[in-house]
Structure 1
Amino acid sequence: MRKGGNPYYSGPVSDHFDGVRFFNPGGAAPRGFVDLLRWQFGGGQARWPSRYDSTFPPARPDLNVDGDRLRVTMVGHATLLIQVAGLNILTDPVWSHRASPFAFAGPHRRNAPGIRMDDLPPIDIVLVTHNHYDHLDLETLAALNGEHAPHVVTPLGNDTIIRRAAPDGEISSVDWGDRIDLGDGVVIHAEPCHHWSARRSRDRRMALWAAFVIETPAGKIYHVGDTGFHEGINYRAAREKHGCFRLANLPFGCYEPRWFMASQHQNPEEAVMGMVACGAEYVAGHHWGTFRLTNEGIDEPLRALEAALDKAGIERTRFRALRPGEVFDVPVSSEE
């Protein structure tokens, strides 16, 4: 056990770390056990089909995407393959059947991964945004380390967890505001988002959560794994610091009921507001349709997203709600 009872991280107090737990400055803490029971036993959870197969076949990605090209392929939920500047980058990789600490219980996949693991190109970078089971999957990380030996970048404390799966792996632990220069004009920045963390009942907020900005010669990419909208504060801060983005990867599912989820998961309308606030030319929408984690129906986020885009006067083609196997070749931004 590390100092102060935190099993993952020991470090100086900061504006988002009190010496034991991380927190959202000026934001909301996750709701407690009583509210969790109120939600779980309060009804209102829409039924999902046992299967929700993608309309796209499993993708077989090119080995290399370079020049001014930027390609995103959906694997499922928050797992995306980003190909840019000759690099192959995976976000929050989960190939397991369940997003759960148990193999026999917990949310299970409603569709197969959009890329078979054996069909992955050589993976250079893995970004893990936080330690919830639908984002940090030790079985997948162990397999990736054995086959690809990628450089894993993750917020403070999550490296301790990932070491269990990849004891010999190259893992960089970053705080908000840190940067990792990979050379050839590629820099990864860790930035704030409004969320929380936990792997079990007694380690809440003991590892940090983060968004990432990927700065490349082909443009800047803003990747958000999970976030509450938080009045758009972090979106505006990202734009002020980094300028506009050629692409933002934004979550837009897993958001009902709002009284419980608003501080941790934005809804489609808020995702569209986030797109505008951060100055993203295009969005790859994720975090929907694979694992049932909340109350809304499986395709409800799609209808709500279309309504939000129409209301904002934004072309639907600029915010792509990606399905497993779908490939998005992102146009060159007008800002480039």
Structure 2
Amino acid sequence: MAKTNPTSPAQALPTLQKHEGRYRNKASMTRLGFFRTLGVFWDAVFNKPKFTRPAGEIPVQPLSRQQLLAAPDNSVFRLGHSTVLLKLHGVFWLTDPVFAERASPVQWAGPKRFHQPPISLEELPPLKAVILSHNHYDHLDHMTIKALMAKTEHFLTPLGVGDTLIEWGVPAEKVRQLDWWQSTEVHGMHFVATPAQHFSGRSLRDGNRTMWASWVMHDEHQRIFFSGDTGYFDGFKTIGEQYGPFDLTLMETGAYNVDWPNVHMQPEETLQAHIDLRGKWLLPIHNGTFDLAMHAWHEPFDRILALAWEKNVSITTPQMGQPFYMDYPSRGHAWWLGVEGVKEVAAARVDGFRCERRHAEGLDGA
């Protein structure tokens, strides 16, 4: 069902290498070592700062099935983290759906949601396809997949991830598994599994047994890029040259750390990736829902907004559940500044960032 795109630059960025049953990125990955890894784990469990979770309530705009069915075509709704609902060609598509209370193998421990989804699984309209980037718990949730099984026509996955879905009970005929640069068509939309720089695994023993990918979604009118999880690499420029310019990029911006440069992007890299992709509008995702790093929960928004202003990049930051209309794009507003304890810290961070930039570029008269 999936077919290789004959015009894809497969020689420039071939498929993931596989060694002894495990996939490997093309670039060599930085290894922290045992003691540094142990230190990162210790900090995450015992030294977590309070500001990694919001002190106040995250604003969410509730959605109903009736609202979604009445929404115009080319509407985009953030539901939380990397879960994005798109209405294209009169039907609905959903990326990396996670509706569970925790992004964890168990629901009594692990990162807990900051907010409830804007719409329940039961209220969601029928889905033409679910698009999955990889198998980490904050992107692939067992409970959610089981609930969506009956109302979803197709599940599009990187290689190996579809096997997991089939093990969970998803009918094999609903699953399409793609290698990098392979494409498939569903209801007039073309989907291409494109490269990403990340890793996979849901236990201590299955690391990198399945693939990870970003996704290009396009038809004759719209082009959308969904990053999944990834470090910054030269593949963004290749994807932009092959499939850009993109009307909208849904870009990972959050859960980063200086110790994870190969698998997650700092906001500066997110912006550069968007530019490499030749994106018109940037919608930052992978933030605002789960506590997955040591930075302040709102820091990704502060930093990417300041960077976009500096580079004159069109950026939109809708609330969870708030529509973004691709035919009539708007910037939205800095909703996170209204959450308790954020405004003063965020303003200081943005001003400090601007001062540092001006000083570095010799614009402050020094």
Q: In structure 2, list runs of 5 or more residues that go unmatched.
A: 1-13, 330-366
Q: Given that residues 111 and 324 in structure 1 are in contact (C-alpha distance below 8 angstroms), is that contact kept between their aligned partners in structure 2?
A: no
CA distance 1:320–1:139, shift in 2 (3 Å): same
Which of 165, 189, 192 is matched with 1:189 structurally? Answer: 192
Cα drift, residue 31 of structure 1: 4.8
Cα drift, residue 90 of structure 1: 0.4
Structure number, greater radius of gyration: 2
Cα drift, residue 87 of structure 1: 2.5
Question: Which structure has more helix as a fraction of its residues?
Answer: 2
SS of the counterpart of 2:300? helix
Does structure 1 residue 227 correspond to structure 2 residue 230? yes
Query: What residue identity is the alignment partner of 2:145?
Result: L
Q: Which residue of 1 aligns with 2:320?
A: 324
CA distance 1:52–1:210, shift in 2 (3 Å): farther
Does structure 1 residue 62 correspond to structure 2 residue 71? no
Q: Given that residues 51 and 110 in structure 1 are in contact (C-alpha distance below 8 angstroms), is that contact kept between their aligned partners in structure 2?
A: no
Please list, as runs of the form range in 1=range in 2, the aligned pairs for 1:137-152 lying within 5 A after superposition. 137-146=141-150, 148-152=151-155
Cα drift, residue 207 of structure 1: 0.5
CA distance 1:23–1:243, shift in 2 (3 Å): same
Q: In structure 1, list runs of 5 or more residues that go unmatched.
A: 1-12
Cα drift, residue 251 of structure 1: 1.0
TM-score normalised over the length of structure 2: 0.79
Comparing 167-176 with 277-286, greater Cα deviation is found at 167-176
Cα drift, residue 237 of structure 1: 0.9
Q: How far apart in 2 are the matches of 1:65 and 1:32?
A: 50
1:107-147 CA-to-partner distances (Å, cap 9, x unmatched) read: 1101111222222121110011000000000110010003x
1:30-76 CA-to-partner distances (Å, cap 9, x unmatched) read: 6565432121224764323466533232123422766xx41110110
CA distance 1:303–1:14, shift in 2 (3 Å): closer
CA distance 1:145–1:32, shift in 2 (3 Å): farther
Cα drift, residue 162 of structure 1: 1.3
Q: Which residue of 1 aligns with 2:124?
A: 120
Query: What residue identity is the alignment partner of 2:250?
Result: N
Q: Which residue of 2 aligns with 1:80?
A: 84
Query: Across the two proteins, how many residue pairs are aligned to each other?
Result: 310
1:183-234 CA-to-partner distances (Å, cap 9, x unmatched) read: 53x211000011100101111111000001011233111111111112xx12
Q: How far apart in 1 are the matches of 2:272 and 2:201?
A: 28
CA distance 1:79–1:33, shift in 2 (3 Å): farther
Comparing 48-57 with 271-280, greater Cα deviation is found at 48-57
Cα drift, residue 94 of structure 1: 0.5
Q: How far apart in 2 are the matches of 1:319 and 1:40?
A: 34
Q: Given that residues 52 and 289 in structure 1 are in contact (C-alpha distance below 8 angstroms), is that contact kept between their aligned partners in structure 2?
A: no
Q: How far apart in 1 are the matches of 2:246 and 2:322?
A: 21
Which of 126, 132, 137 is matched with 1:133 structurally? Answer: 137
Q: Which residue of 1 aligns with 2:237?
A: 236
Cα drift, residue 179 of structure 1: 0.5
SS of the counterpart of 2:306? helix
Please list, as runs of the form range in 1=range in 2, the aligned pairs for 1:177-326 lying within 5 A after superposition. 177-184=181-188, 186-230=189-233, 233-256=234-257, 258=258, 260-314=259-313, 318-326=314-322
Q: How far apart in 1 are the matches of 2:56 and 2:212?
A: 29
1:145-194 CA-to-partner distances (Å, cap 9, x unmatched) read: 03x0330000011112112323425111110011002253x211000011
Query: What residue identity is the alignment partner of 1:95?
Result: F
1:59-100 CA-to-partner distances (Å, cap 9, x unmatched) read: 23422766xx41110110010001112231000000000100
Q: How far apart in 1 are the matches of 2:271 and 2:81?
A: 18
1:244-287 CA-to-partner distances (Å, cap 9, x unmatched) read: 1011110101112x1x2211111222111111110111122111
Q: How far apart in 2 are the matches of 1:33 and 1:325?
A: 41
SS of the counterpart of 1:36? helix
CA distance 1:80–1:33, shift in 2 (3 Å): farther
TM-score normalised over the length of structure 1: 0.86
